[in-house]
Amino acid sequence: MSGHSKWATIKRKKAATDQKRGNLFTKLVKEITIAARMGGGDPSGNPRLRLAIDTARANSMPMENIQRAIKKGTGELDGASYDEITYEGYGPAGIALIIETATDNRNRTVADIRHIMSRNNGSLGESGSVSWMFQRKGSIDVPKNAIGEEALMELLLDAGLDDLDASDETYYTVLTDLRDLESAKKALDDASVAYENAKIDLVPENYIELEADDAEKVIRLIDALENNDDVQAVYSNMEISEKAMNSLNG
């Protein structure tokens, strides 16, 4: 998992900024709507919806907005119908990118994605061109001031812990099998251990290390993609060197 925590550190800072953007609630509403459409409106029997609601509440979305999104998904209220489309491609320095979207207009979305990629030294690839490099995992950030590393490992060993990255200064990154994400969350809740950003993540099997100039270009491209209302998430196999990290933080 080398590199994951460095990029995760930047993503956490970006997320704090994203909370101030109007498009964050748009993305959360889409995810809740799609989850309810696919698995029903009862979060107790729909893990994807339960996770989406937890994420929305962690980002201070009012319950009335959440309930309205659920009802749009189940058809109780009128609303746009979103298709989930995943794009694959390459960014600067050959970085692999997976772009997950939710859209009510496929033609608009692919044109926007292609335009953003071409303007930022990226290019779209064929389906399957980079997805083989990634594995879908459950991911949880646990503040280091909430629990020690050995205690965290002991707590989660029977709850599906797959990997634990302790290289970040502030957070542990917990990875689980998808089926064990809820079990890991419950174990943390039962032990009153604080955590953040419980989510489904695409984790690359290998990373490409970049220095500051190329890392800045990739981050600029990812920012442009994430600012598009149809884009739900962007994943990459970028690793940032220690020197580049210090430069970016400076």
User: How far, rounded to the nearest angstrom, does the alpha carbon of residue 102 sit from its chain's CA centroid?
Assistant: 14
Higher-confidence residue: 21 or 89? 89
pLDDT tens digits for range 197-215 = 899 999 998 889 888 899 9
Q: How high does pLDDT run on average in the chain?
A: 89
Q: Write down the pLDDT at residue 165.
A: 86
pLDDT tens digits for range 58-97 = 888 999 999 999 999 999 999 888 999 999 999 999 999 9
> What are the structure tokens assigned to 20, written together?
């101030």
Q: Is the pLDDT score of 1 beyond 50?
A: no
Strands 208-210 and 238-240: parallel
Q: What count of other Cβ atoms lies within 10 Å of the Cβ of residue 246?
A: 11
Q: What is the mean pLDDT of residues 236-245?
A: 80
CA distance 152 to 120: 40
Contact 119, 164 (CB under 8 A): no
135 bridge partner residues: 203
Nearest to 159 by CA among 143, 140, 146: 140
For 158-177, b/e burial (b = at least 16 CB within 10 A) is ebbbbebbbebeebbbbbbe
Q: What is the mean pLDDT of residues 99-119?
A: 97
Contact 60, 11 (CB under 8 A): no
- The CATH T-level fold of domain 133-204 is Alpha-Beta Plaits (3.30.70)
Nearest to 168 by CA among 189, 151, 143: 143
Q: How far is CA 138 from CA 70, 143, 185, 228, in A?
A: 23, 17, 10, 25
CA distance 122 to 144: 36
Contact 198, 139 (CB under 8 A): yes
On the question of a common fold for 4-74 and 83-132+206-249, the answer reads no
Higher-confidence residue: 173 or 247? 173
- The CATH T-level fold of domain 83-132+206-249 is Alpha-Beta Plaits (3.30.70)
pLDDT tens digits for range 141-198 = 999 999 999 999 999 988 889 999 887 788 899 999 989 999 999 999 999 999 988 9
CA distance 221 to 113: 11
User: How far, rounded to the nearest angstrom, does the alpha carbon of residue 50 sit from its chain's CA centroid?
Assistant: 16
- The CATH T-level fold of domain 4-74 is Arc Repressor Mutant, subunit A (1.10.10)
User: How do the domains of the chain map onto residue ranges?
Assistant: 4-74, 83-132+206-249, 133-204
Question: Tell me, what DSSP letter sits at residue 158?
Answer: G
